[in-house]
Chain A
């Protein structure tokens, strides 16, 4: 058998048999091979909307805080319910076992979205935004690289209240707040703009925030604070 013939035969053979691999041990390799045809055939998932009925249903099924998220790059909408609270950080989760961590209306971490925000030092940013005061504050975000090494992004945020009053009405949240921008830049000149709607009590009623290079922007609309 010549070289090309052999490779072709071996590859086809391995592919066919991988699909039929079996056992009760670890099957990661088979899982990977099985995923290949799906990866080629996969179509981009269309935007998934959340209906008013779904929101109402979730709000009646729990007493816990509920958030509606919009993932800008995929246009996906999804609901998450608070499942744990630890030192001011609220962990919101869904049935797909994804987590978004929020502290006082600002996203401080995510898990299971791919390219997650592993942690952040956002206290100064949170306090400045809630006070609706202009000023510069430090803000640190941490990510994992594909190599599994932690990278830290040190940003400086220029917080600016925009003055305009915005009505916010969603689920059980019904109020008016002022839009506040936080323009955050790192030393390399990478700049993102996060926007918050803050009410007179310093509560953040809506958030549009950059999470990571992979995830991009998420918008958080609390349905129950």
Chain B
């Protein structure tokens, strides 16, 4: 019988030579870093304990060489004015860049900035080199500054200042690679894919922890053992600094490799090729029953794939379909399945398929296919059909929805959890309860929708930030809304969507726009179907809602609880936005305008986007509110993660969860949270986005 010699493809990043994560949740030995980079796209969450220190780190490999980490630290039994009940909380950001990749002769070299924003508890910089000497055997040596240059320095490079810039939260560029410099290093050996033993010499003297905490540092030598599961999950145990025990647990995932390739959803319908010569039969055009049965057939076939045909316009040689896709995250899959259903239901003379996906009543694009191409290319590479598909503006092309499709009412009742992370007083707080949502689509593009929550448990109301703000309290009163809003109307709006012209998309939303503001919001977006660039404009007229989040509004004057200063929230705010898809999975957005507190400025957002919908991004907002007026953190910045649930279901879904980790919720640089912003709805069905997952056309 046949033999299968399955030589596993060269996977330098797996098995014995896979990078380990250290106590800081970055590639490293025990407490010290190595020059390793994780596989591109890796997301690693690490919980590490060392004596009284608890570090929770999220590391993302942004590009093959660049990675970023966000860390939340809690140190118990710590004597510091900022400690709460003896626990000192601190947040930190790291960036690492692999300058040189490893070759047979040279080591990998990485430059790292540790805790480079803010107060700098872990502030340090390093240059580190790592080399594999044999399978599983790696040596590392590096030079460290800051914390990593605090023990047994071998030299010095200038003076390292220790003043905090602004109100914290700014890059500590004045310190980088300055002051004392120490050497660190170590060795690790992995006898197999599961186990790894490490020993290192640490250049961190832990002055902060030994001075204010209970730690006693008696030795620079650390020892550790890692165990790695097949899934990549890592567990480690350490003996460190002469008398501390450490441990860590890391969960590792990667949007590029998570889930079943291609999914497990049922197969599409096969294409039904036409009988030769049948295309010239136009007899059906005069027969209304055949026309009607074609539409019924198409609607039923599409419904088997959870696709909704809202209208079909049949001409002798062309069919235009108005399509709603509540199911497929990859637009190509919805288009492909619709095209397959069309081959099985439409008269043979119809040669041109025009599929118009519609979202909130707006035709997003017209996907034009030749039926003979669909027939000829069913079993060929998906790139072949993409090359013969044109995606054009659907302005004025979409047929009207058939009578009976609208009005439509949908509702749901489900649990909710609202979490607030990393507040200085409370590392994690949240509310949980029940949320009822309703949506009444009066016409395809006029939608009345609302959401009501009833809290059952939680402590968000305790997040009452009594500290002063030099701006109108547009967000710092959040705790009052949480405390009094039970039940709360999260939003109740009438939204109108439309296509005011070619390449243009519009939205007008009226009502209770979000938890804190009511009013009106208008948006216009320009985006050609083949463009990576889009421009948008949004203007809002707002009224401050009552703290109970029911139907009332209150005046726009806020009173500071510390200074008693009264400040007015302006009624008008808005932004001009530019969006650009750089390709290769990078996306940028700039918003310039007036924020809620009346401050003027700009938000810059950068995201790494994966074709399947995962996104990891960062944003920063700088406005004319001074760092002092903004308060702790100096300016607003944060990280955001979008996680599509299809990765976990193994079946297509358009649902995704977005989690934003904001540095601190302050009043400066804050925007209105209105639903239904246009760009994300529109870009999906435009060529640059749709082409990314075109392989799903035939799936």
A binds B: yes
Q: Show the binding face of A for B, using Cβ within 8 Å.
A: 1, 3, 6-7, 9-10, 13-14, 16-18, 21-32, 35, 83-84, 86-87, 89, 91, 93, 96-99, 101, 103, 108-109, 111-116, 118-119, 142-150, 152, 181, 188-195, 208, 210, 212-214, 217
- Report the bound CA distance from A213 to B262 in whole Å: 12
The reply to whether the CB of B571 lies closer than 8 angstroms to some CB of chain A is no
Q: Is the CB of A112 within 8 A of B427?
A: no
**A158 to chain B: closest CB distance in Å?**
13
Residues on B with beta carbons closer than 8 Å to the beta carbon of A31: 649
Given the contacts A29-B655, A111-B267, A150-B381, A10 and B6 also touching, CB distance less than 8 Å: no
The reply to whether the CB of B380 lies closer than 8 angstroms to some CB of chain A is yes
Residues on A with beta carbons closer than 8 Å to the beta carbon of B458: 6, 10
Residues on A with beta carbons closer than 8 Å to the beta carbon of B10: 188
Q: Is the CB of B381 within 8 A of A98?
A: no
Q: Is the CB of A111 within 8 A of B268?
A: yes
**A128 to chain B: closest CB distance in Å?**
16
Look across to chain A and name the residue whose beta carbon is closest to the beta carbon of B9.
A188
- Report the bound CA distance from A19 to B415 in whole Å: 9
**A131 to chain B: closest CB distance in Å?**
19
Q: Show the binding face of B for A, using Cβ within 8 Å.
A: 1-10, 255-268, 270-273, 326, 330, 375-376, 378-383, 409-415, 417, 419, 426-430, 432, 434, 437, 439, 456-459, 610-612, 614, 645, 647-650, 653-655, 692-696, 698-699
**B693 to chain A: closest CB distance in Å?**
4
Q: Give the residue among A16, A114, A143 with the most B Cβ atoms within 10 A.
A: A114
Given the contacts A9-B457, A142-B381, A147-B256, A3 and B428 also touching, CB distance less than 8 Å: yes
**A112 to chain B: closest CB distance in Å?**
4
Given the contacts A23-B412, A149-B695, A150-B382, A98 and B267 also touching, CB distance less than 8 Å: yes
Given the contacts A143-B262, A147-B611, A114 and B650 also touching, CB distance less than 8 Å: yes
Q: Which of B268, B409, B412, B695 contacts A22 (CB 8 A)?
A: B412
Given the contacts A99-B270, A111-B268, A149 and B693 also touching, CB distance less than 8 Å: yes
Look across to chain B and name the residue whose beta carbon is closest to the beta carbon of A194.
B2
Q: Which of A26, A28, A111, A214 contacts B261 (CB 8 A)?
A: A214
Q: Is the CB of B459 within 8 A of A6?
A: yes
Residues on B with beta carbons closer than 8 Å to the beta carbon of A142: 381-382, 695
**A142 to chain B: closest CB distance in Å?**
6
- Report the bound CA distance from A17 to B376 in whole Å: 49
- Report the bound CA distance from A100 to B182 in whole Å: 63
Look across to chain B and name the residue whose beta carbon is closest to the beta carbon of A188.
B9
**B157 to chain A: closest CB distance in Å?**
41
- Report the bound CA distance from A87 to B259 in whole Å: 33
- Report the bound CA distance from A111 to B262 in whole Å: 9
Residues on B with beta carbons closer than 8 Å to the beta carbon of A194: 2
- Report the bound CA distance from A99 to B610 in whole Å: 28
Q: Which of A108, A146, A190 contacts B647 (CB 8 A)?
A: A146
Q: Is the CB of B645 within 8 A of A28?
A: yes
Residues on B with beta carbons closer than 8 Å to the beta carbon of A16: 415
Instruction: Count CB-based A-B contacts (< 8 Å).
Output: 218
Look across to chain B and name the residue whose beta carbon is closest to the beta carbon of A111.
B267
A-B pairs, 6 with minimum CB distance: A23-B412, A17-B415, A111-B267, A97-B266, A150-B695, A84-B270
Q: Is the CB of B612 within 8 A of A87?
A: no
**B439 to chain A: closest CB distance in Å?**
7
Q: Which of A9, A28, A119, A181 contacts B432 (CB 8 A)?
A: A9
Look across to chain B and name the residue whose beta carbon is closest to the beta carbon of A96.
B266
Look across to chain A and name the residue whose beta carbon is closest to the beta carbon of B259.
A146
Q: Is the CB of B414 within 8 A of A26?
A: no
- Report the bound CA distance from A16 to B434 in whole Å: 11
**A196 to chain B: closest CB distance in Å?**
10
Q: Is the CB of B695 within 8 A of A89?
A: no
Q: Is the CB of A26 within 8 A of B266?
A: no
Q: Is the CB of A115 within 8 A of B266?
A: no
**A43 to chain B: closest CB distance in Å?**
18
Q: Is the CB of B610 within 8 A of A147?
A: yes
- Report the bound CA distance from A35 to B650 in whole Å: 11
Q: Which of A13, A18, A115 contacts B260 (CB 8 A)?
A: A115
Residues on B with beta carbons closer than 8 Å to the beta carbon of A97: 266-267
Residues on A with beta carbons closer than 8 Å to the beta carbon of B256: 145-147
A-B contact pairs, 12 of them (CB 8 A): A14-B432, A24-B409, A24-B410, A24-B412, A86-B272, A98-B267, A114-B264, A116-B699, A118-B698, A142-B381, A189-B9, A190-B9
Residues on B with beta carbons closer than 8 Å to the beta carbon of A98: 266-267
Q: Is the CB of A13 within 8 A of B457?
A: yes
Residues on A with beta carbons closer than 8 Å to the beta carbon of B650: 114
Residues on A with beta carbons closer than 8 Å to the beta carbon of B614: 147
Residues on A with beta carbons closer than 8 Å to the beta carbon of B263: 114, 144
- Report the bound CA distance from A10 to B428 in whole Å: 12
Q: Is the CB of A25 within 8 A of B695?
A: no
Residues on A with beta carbons closer than 8 Å to the beta carbon of B2: 181, 193-195, 208
- Report the bound CA distance from A142 to B695 in whole Å: 9
- Report the bound CA distance from A16 to B326 in whole Å: 26
Residues on B with beta carbons closer than 8 Å to the beta carbon of A22: 412-414
Look across to chain A and name the residue whose beta carbon is closest to the beta carbon of B11.
A188
Q: Which of B257, B412, B647, B695 contacts A118 (CB 8 A)?
A: B695
New A-B contacts (11) at CB < 8 Å, excluding given A21-B414, A147-B612? A10-B419, A23-B414, A25-B437, A84-B270, A87-B376, A144-B699, A146-B258, A146-B612, A147-B255, A191-B4, A217-B4
Q: Which of B265, B380, B439, B648 contacts A119 (CB 8 A)?
A: B380
- Report the bound CA distance from A25 to B413 in whole Å: 10
Given the contacts A83-B270, A148-B330, A195-B2, A32 and B696 also touching, CB distance less than 8 Å: no
Residues on B with beta carbons closer than 8 Å to the beta carbon of A86: 270-273, 375, 378-379
Q: Is the CB of B326 within 8 A of A13?
A: no
- Report the bound CA distance from A220 to B257 in whole Å: 30
Q: Is the CB of A149 within 8 A of B262?
A: no
Q: Is the CB of A114 within 8 A of B260?
A: yes
**A145 to chain B: closest CB distance in Å?**
6
Residues on B with beta carbons closer than 8 Å to the beta carbon of A193: 2-5
